[in-house]
Structure 1
Amino acid sequence: MNNNNSKLRGLIICGIFAAITAILAQIEIPLPIVPISGQTFAVGLTATIIGSRYGAIAMVCYALLGGVGMPVFAGFKGGVQVLIGPTGGYIIGFILAAYVTGLILEKTKFTLPMAMIANTIGMIITLIFGATQLKIVLGMTWGQALVTGIYPFVVVGLIKAFLASWLGITVRRRLVQAKLIDQTNKRVA
């Protein structure tokens, strides 16, 4: 397969995972300021399956789609006001979280224990970005930002990290066996 076809396939895969993130974002448990949603599960799943580079590109696509007004964020929201609003830090954090999660797996092994570690670190990155923006936008103290933007999400975040790890490793193995992605994530097969 020539390089242009490989790049096109990579972009299509990124688009698919941006769409999966948009769909999972609509699964939510409302909380006063920041809902619990399927977005973070989607970020971990994406990075575990397609790795750092494509995972981060998929999250950039997702953020851009929402930023231009497509209703892809939790609660069918979209627009730049979401990205600069109280919960926008989480969405921006998805990009780095996907990259770091995928990178850890690429530098170690795509196994369930390593995926759990990588996804937990990704979750922490997302929560730090989210709490930081909550603090800035809402004028909270660090204590208030932790209570509002991190503490309620730790236990459910660990559950989502485990599920993203387990499902991601399972799907990834099948995609590698089918030669749809390569083992190194250097290219889309």
Structure 2
Amino acid sequence: MKAREVAYAGIFTAFVAVSAQISVSIGPVPLTFQVFAVLLTGLLLGSRLGFLTVLTYDIAGAVSLPVFAGFTGGIAHIYGPTGGYILAFPLAALVTGLAKGKGRKAKLVASGVAIALIYVLGWLCLGLYFGGNFEKAFELGVAPFVIPDIIKALIAVEISEAVERRLEP
């Protein structure tokens, strides 16, 4: 790994951690800016570095660094109501990273797929956390987030497009 990549990974790991603190409690799954940060990380860093960066965030939280929402950390979060979402974040960065440099349409599609991946893993784990009540898990862990996450994806794509235009030779 090059020094520049290590620096970017550190900056974006911190970005995801800070985005988790911009949080509104609306139930067992808080509304945060993490989805935005995860999507943007993949879009700007690419699939490999985006995945590793967000995986670093997950590992930091799992070993009790206070990077999760509400300045919390610990392995219990992986087994708690938000665990599926947290585990899906590196995969979402990988998916959006596949669209790096491929234009707005590809980025929008990749962002949609990434959000769907976050929802599916989050919903499944939340449903198990609720003792198999997947309807309740959908109502509390997916439905309230659809519109905000679409807006976050649109903003992430626009920012990535602007950055790429700025960096063009």
TM normalised by structure 2 equals 0.93
In 2, Cα distance between equivalents of 1:139 and 1:8:
46
Query: Does residue 72 of the first structure (1) align with residue 72 of the second (2)?
Result: no
Residue in 2 that maps onto 1:100? 95
Q: Within the alignment, does 1:156 sit opposite 2:148 as a pair?
A: yes
| Partner of residue 32, structure 1 | 27
Q: Paired residue for 1:136?
A: 128
Report the Cα offset of residue 74 of structure 1: 1.1
- Once the two structures are superposed, residues 149-189 of structure 1 have per-residue CA deviations (whole angstroms, 9 ceiling, x without a partner) of 11111111100110111112212333454xxxxxxxxxxxx
Aligned to 1:186: none
Q: Which deviates more, 35-44 or 120-129?
A: 120-129
Runs of 4+ aligned structure 1 residues displaced above 6 Å come to none
Q: Is the 8 A contact 1:29 1:37 kept in 2?
A: yes
Q: Distance in 1 between matches of 2:32 and 2:153?
A: 13
Contact 2:22–2:32 (8 Å) recurs in 1: yes
For 1:91-140, what per-residue CA distance to the aligned partner results, in whole angstroms no more than 9, with x for missing partners?
1100111111111x15xx53222212211111111111111110112214
Contact 2:128 2:134 in 1 (8 A): no
Given the alignment of the two structures, is residue 60 of structure 1 paired with residue 85 of structure 2, yes or no? no
In the alignment, which residue of structure 2 is the partner of 1:20? 15
Name which of structure 1's ranges 157-166 and 116-125 shifts more when overlaid on structure 2.
116-125
Matched residue count: 169
Q: Which residue of 1 aligns with 2:6?
A: 11
Gaps of 5+ in 2: none
Q: Name 2:44's counterpart in structure 1.
A: 49
Other-structure match for 1:185: none
RMSD: 1.5
**Cα deviations by residue, 1:28-84 (Å, 9 ceiling, x for unpaired):** 121111111010000011011111111100111000111111111111111111112
- 2: CA distance between counterparts of 1:49 and 1:173? 12
**Cα shift at 1:23:** 0.8
Question: What 5-or-longer segments of structure 1 have no aligned partner?
Answer: 1-5, 178-189
Q: Residue 162 of structure 2 corresponds to which residue in structure 1? A: 170
C-alpha distance in 2, partners of 1:140/1:66?
A: 26
